[in-house]
Structure 1
């Protein structure tokens, strides 16, 4: 039986990850601020901690050791450095949730080699960083400094009925209400993954010895035009779009050019991703029925 620590784990993908690991019979500890209620009752051990405070982490971790550590809430180089210091000799395997945001917009399918964290210069501090730069530096610190095996999972935008950011609902609501949506490039292609598969992939990865960055996305991509058309079909109204709009009406998927990934490294290692078309139309249908 494996001992697993999840930093985060009380909502969205983290919550599903906990449930899947419990199903596998693992002993699961979740480390959070303790402010978000969960339904795990006595099936998990809980550590109350502040991910951004070294002393808080040190006190919570203590002398415990884990077979796998999943870090769902690492956003700054400082937090990554804390993990390197605290988990040395305490983690057999460390899997950090990273992001497609580490990549620039390139006119190609993005592969892991398009951002190299092993040679990326570590400069800047958490409060001064964008989300994308924070994730680049998280990877850079971990891969350059950690004394334990690290894998960084580069997820695209994650969707699901339980997505608390409601980015897909944003488009449904505005199309339904006839509110123009700001979309700078209707033909830009984008990657997604659904929350169930994101959690399943993390569980699968925990049993492998893969290290380094790894893309995890549904097979295939979709243009913003195609996405809006799928919503139009369900809503029964035509989307009103503008290249520029007020900030509150700008699409969360409004990218200037195509931004989509290949999942070839994970598939070569044995994981078979679902196709985007196998779940996205159904999700749109479900959300439109709410």
Structure 2
């Protein structure tokens, strides 16, 4: 394959995917509405087609104009999006949709692609735009991928958990980096052993390309850091990248109540472990970036940005009340 169309492509996963494709000598075209700054605007290696992916006529025009070998769908949030794209790009060599670990409908460790059931999705959920139905919609998007494959389309899905790294506009990890960078005492909810699988964004990008090149039609592939860390270990990795040390202070529901904080007010906290098996993707030759290297890049990008993630978690004043209570125990 020589040419690629990236639906999305300028914000986070898509941005890193474009870089990865360029590094592997693809001719790349971005298809989006042009509502966000384009980091590739001055890069003559990247073409840009403006259009709304929810507009089938615009997608059909892009298919005719670009005639890509591979299509990467970074912004398929509704089942109808996948159904339209797999129909329009059905003659391409590959179509890869960015799915999510949230598509899984049962809590088990680890979640495996062909064993763990997916979330159900009603007709109402399929068109809903709330966060509560995100997993349902992603699961139905995957079922649309599988259906397209049964009709002869080389369609596949890649399921990441929480994605982190440079240019992460969600600022979930930024909240933690900011805490470690500014304070010598960091509150970690619970006992610090919470595990929520994460994945470095460059590894998602390479996974998408590898699946397009080597994946099997009708299959989904989990992608995630090959070595998982607890929330406390993540804080320690951040501190190492900042060349600093922090005093981790554990706080349970009782202690957090002093600041009117709940456990799940903290970004990247999840009561039940969320772990994805990545063996299927690794069998294609995919490798993940060492955690220390990935975190260092994420921290460097944070320091160069104006992101602080403050809207994602408890404010420091509330945490100080918790710390005050803990000092008296």
TM category, shorter: 0.7 to 0.9
Which residue number corresponds to residue 81 of structure 2?
Answer: 79
Check conservation: 1:120, 1:140, Cα contact below 8 A: no
Which residue number corresponds to residue 260 of structure 1?
Answer: 275
Deviation at 1:121, TM superposition (A): 6.0
Structure 2: tracts of 5 or more residues without a match: 305-329
Q: Distance in 1 between matches of 2:246 and 2:186?
A: 12
Cα distance 1:280–1:105, how it changes in 2: closer, same or farther (>3 A)?
Answer: farther
1:202 matched to 2:229? The reply is: no
Check conservation: 1:32, 1:48, Cα contact below 8 A: yes
Q: Distance in 2 between matches of 1:127 and 1:181?
A: 35
Q: Distance in 1 between matches of 2:50 and 2:196?
A: 37
Q: Distance in 2 between matches of 1:242 and 1:280?
A: 29
SS of the residue corresponding to residue 190 of structure 1 reads coil
Deviation at 1:167, TM superposition (A): 1.2
The alignment yields a C-alpha RMSD, in angstroms, of 3.1
Q: Distance in 2 between matches of 1:120 and 1:159?
A: 27
Which residue number corresponds to residue 99 of structure 1?
Answer: 100
SS of the residue corresponding to residue 210 of structure 1 reads coil
The one of 224, 227, 232 aligned to 1:220: 227
The 10-residue stretch of structure 1 (251-260 or 232-241) with the greater mean CA deviation from structure 2: 232-241
The one of 228, 247, 262 aligned to 1:238: 247
Cα distance 1:221–1:50, how it changes in 2: closer, same or farther (>3 A)?
Answer: same
Cα distance 1:156–1:279, how it changes in 2: closer, same or farther (>3 A)?
Answer: farther
Q: Distance in 2 between matches of 1:280 and 1:23?
A: 18
Deviation at 1:181, TM superposition (A): 6.0
Structure 1: tracts of 5 or more residues without a match: none
Using the size of structure 2 for normalisation, the TM-score is: 0.75
The 10-residue stretch of structure 1 (212-221 or 140-149) with the greater mean CA deviation from structure 2: 140-149
Cα distance 1:258–1:29, how it changes in 2: closer, same or farther (>3 A)?
Answer: same
Which residue number corresponds to residue 69 of structure 2?
Answer: 67
Q: How many residues align?
A: 287
Q: Distance in 2 between matches of 1:39 and 1:11?
A: 11
Cα deviations by residue, 1:139-193 (Å, 9 ceiling, x for unpaired) = 1122124531111111121211322222111123345358986846732222222
Q: Distance in 2 between matches of 1:27 and 1:59?
A: 18
1:133 matched to 2:139? The reply is: no
Which residue number corresponds to residue 153 of structure 1?
Answer: 158
Question: Highest CA radius of gyration, 1 or 2?
Answer: 2
